[in-house]
């Protein structure tokens, strides 16, 4: 069954994308939750017209995301945390702290879009994180965890 996604669904697709899914998944979950509509011929025509009109805006968004990715790769963010005498952190560094540190540098990203590439950040040192900026465009940046 073909559906048009209204919102981004993890591991399925982005908003305004036409995807094929099993009928039960579409009728029992995606459509009732407001994530999708059935992709009839009229919906497909309307969707194609919307995409045609939005094409130049899309190109600008992609260019802005790529520029932000380049800016992020040049950034090194410093996160100050409380540590014990042995260098272990009390707790761990979270994506919220990274989002705040990036905002202090003038880069506004949502904490939900940040992924810490290390398994755990439990010690002082240098780590790397990834940020989902736009459809398929990710940026990475390094962050230093230092004692407060």
33 secondary structure, DSSP code: T
Among 25, 44, 66, the domain-final residue is 66
Q: In this structure, are residues 50 and 19 in contact, taking their beta carbons and an 8 Å threshold?
A: no
- What's 48's domain CATH number? 3.40.5.10
Q: What confidence tens digit (pLDDT) does each residue in 62-117 have?
A: 899 899 888 888 888 898 888 888 878 888 888 899 999 999 988 888 999 999 98
How many domains are contained in the chain?
A: 2
Task: Say whether pLDDT at 134 is over 80.
Answer: yes
- Kindly state whether residues 49 and 105 are assigned to the same domain: no
pTM metric for this prediction: 0.66
Same domain, 142 and 76: yes
Let me know whether 78 and 122 are in one domain: yes
Give the β-pairing of 76-81 and 137-147. parallel
Q: Which domain holds residue 14?
A: 2-66
Shared domain for 49 and 92, answered yes or no, is no
Shared-domain flag, residues 13 and 25: yes
Distance CA 75, CA 69 (A): 10
User: 77 is written with which tokens?
Assistant: 């963010």
Give the CA distances from residue 146 to residues 88, 98, 108, 117, in Å, rounded to whole numbers and listed in that order.
Answer: 11, 13, 22, 18
Quick one: 124 and 139 in the same domain?
A: yes
How far is the C-alpha of 11 from the C-alpha of 131, rounded, in Å?
17
Same domain, yes or no, for 11 and 59?
yes
């Amino acid at each position: 069954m073909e559906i048009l996604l209204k919102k981004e669904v993890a591991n399925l697709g982005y908003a305004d994308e036409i995807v094929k899914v099993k009928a039960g998944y579409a009728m029992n979950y995606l459509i009732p939750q407001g994530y999708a509509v059935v992709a009839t011929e009229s919906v497909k025509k309307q969707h194609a017209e919307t995409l045609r009109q939005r094409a130049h805006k899309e190109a600008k968004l992609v260019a802005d995301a790529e520029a932000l990715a380049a800016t992020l790769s040049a950034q090194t963010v410093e996160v100050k945390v409380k540590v014990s005498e042995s260098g272990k952190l009390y707790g761990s560094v979270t994506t919220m702290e990274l989002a705040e540190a990036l905002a202090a540098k003038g880069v506004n990203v949502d904490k939900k879009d940040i992924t810490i590439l290390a398994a755990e950040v439990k010690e002082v040192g240098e780590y790397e994180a990834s940020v989902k900026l736009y459809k398929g465009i990710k940026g990475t940046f390094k962050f230093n965890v230092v004692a407060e």
